[in-house]
C-alpha cells in the first residue's frame, strides 16, 4: 500500500457519459498530480494541485476538470467520454514539489464502450 | 519541447545477464528519479539522484546521474525474473516542471 488511495479501481461506461475519479493523497502530502497512461503513449501529465490550488496544467482536455478539496483529496471529472479516453488514470502525491519523487496510487482503469 | 528519451525501448534477456538502461535529454535537471511499474499498477519510486556524477546502489541496481545532470543510467547486475517491468526515468526542471521518460520495457526470462 503506497498510501495514495484511488477509487474506483475499474470503471466501465458508455460514450457520452461523465465519470468522477477520486484520489486521497499520502498523509502529509500537499500536492496531487493526475496522469493518464495509454498503451501507446506512456504517462501523460494532466494537472497538478497544491494545497487546494491549481499549480500546473499539462495536456488536459477541456472535457476534463479537476479540483482539490480542503481535506486535500482530489477528484478528476471526465465528461462527454469518447472511446479514446479509455486508459489508466493515476493519481500521485508529494509533500510539495516533485524534487524527490512522487508516490503513485494503483490507478483507475477506465473503459469507454 | 523538453524530451527525456530512454533506450532501449524494449529489452528481453535471460536470467543472470547484466543490462543497462539509458535516459537522455538536452535539458539540465535539478534532480532525476527512476521508477519501476508492473502491469496494472502505479509506478514505484526506486531512487532519486540530485548531484552531477552521483552514483546510488539499490541491491543489484546501480543508478548514475551524468556530470552535467542531463542524463542518467540504470545498470542491473544478474537480472532476475522479478526485475521484469517498465522502467521510467523522470527529471525535474527547476522546482515544478516534471518530465517522464519514454520508458524501457524489460522482460527477464527464467
The grid coordinates of residue A3 equal 498510501
More confident call, B92 vs B12: B12
* Half-sphere exposure (Cβ direction) of B41: Cα atoms closer than 13 Å: 14
- Is B43 an 8 Å CB contact of chain A? yes
The closest of A45, A15, A74 to B97, measured between CA atoms, is A45
Q: Across chain B, which distance is largest between two alpha carbons, in Å? A: 42
Q: Does the pLDDT of residue A97 top 90, yes or no?
A: no
The closest of B27, B106, B109, B101 to B70, measured between CA atoms, is B27
Q: Does the pLDDT of residue B2 top 80, yes or no?
A: no
DSSP character at residue A25: P
- Model confidence at B98, pLDDT cuts 50, 70, 90, reads confident
List of chain A residues whose C-beta atoms are within 8 Å of the C-beta of residue B103? 42
Quote the pLDDT of residue B20. Answer: 98
* Half-sphere exposure (Cβ direction) of A18: Cα atoms closer than 13 Å: 8
- Is B98 an 8 Å CB contact of chain A? yes
pLDDT in tens, A32-88: 999 999 876 688 999 999 999 999 898 899 999 999 999 999 999 999 999 999 999
Q: Give CA–CA dist A27/B90, Å, rounded.
A: 23
Quote the pLDDT of residue A40. Answer: 65
Q: Answer yes or no: do A55 and B96 touch at CB < 8 A.
A: yes
What are the residues whose beta carbons fall under 8 Å from the beta carbon of B51, sequence distance 6 or more?
Answer: B65
List of chain A residues whose C-beta atoms are within 8 Å of the C-beta of residue B38? none
Q: Which of A42, A45, A90 sits opposite B42 (nearest CB)?
A: A90
Residues B54-69, mean pLDDT to the nearest whole number: 97
Q: Does the pLDDT of residue B1 top 60, yes or no?
A: no
If you search the block for the grid coordinates 472535457, which residue do you land on?
A63
- Is B64 an 8 Å CB contact of chain A? no
If you search the block for the grid coordinates 519501476, which residue do you land on?
B36
If you search the block for the grid coordinates 499498477, which residue do you land on?
B41
DSSP letter string over A68-94?
Answer: E-TTS-EEEEE-S--GGG-EEEEEEEE
Amino acid at each position: 500500500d503506497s498510501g495514495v488511495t484511488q477509487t474506483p479501481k475499474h470503471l466501465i461506461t458508455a460514450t457520452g457519459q461523465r465519470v468522477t475519479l477520486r484520489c486521497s493523497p499520502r498523509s502529509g502530502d500537499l500536492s496531487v498530480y493526475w496522469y493518464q497512461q495509454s498503451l501507446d503513449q506512456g504517462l501523460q501529465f494532466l494537472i497538478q494541485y497544491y494545497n487546494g490550488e491549481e499549480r500546473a496544467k499539462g495536456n488536459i482536455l477541456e472535457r476534463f476538470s479537476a479540483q482539490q478539496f480542503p481535506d486535500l483529496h482530489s477528484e478528476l471529472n471526465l465528461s462527454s467520454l469518447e472511446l479514446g479516453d479509455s486508459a489508466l488514470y493515476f493519481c500521485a502525491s508529494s509533500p510539495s514539489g516533485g524534487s524527490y519523487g512522487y508516490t503513485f496510487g494503483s490507478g483507475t482503469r477506465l473503459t469507454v464502450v | 519541447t523538453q524530451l527525456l528519451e530512454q533506450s532501449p525501448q524494449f529489452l528481453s534477456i535471460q536470467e543472470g545477464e547484466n543490462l543497462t538502461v539509458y535516459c537522455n535529454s538536452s535539458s539540465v535537471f535539478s534532480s532525476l528519479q527512476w521508477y519501476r511499474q508492473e502491469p496494472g499498477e502505479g509506478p514505484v519510486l526506486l531512487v532519486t539522484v540530485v548531484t552531477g556524477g552521483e552514483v546510488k546502489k539499490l541491491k543489484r541496481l546501480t543508478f548514475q546521474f551524468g556530470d552535467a545532470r542531463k542524463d542518467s543510467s540504470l545498470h542491473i547486475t544478474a537480472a532476475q525474473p522479478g526485475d521484469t517491468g517498465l522502467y521510467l526515468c523522470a527529471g525535474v526542471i527547476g522546482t515544478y516542471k516534471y518530465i517522464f521518460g519514454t520508458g524501457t520495457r524489460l522482460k527477464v526470462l527464467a
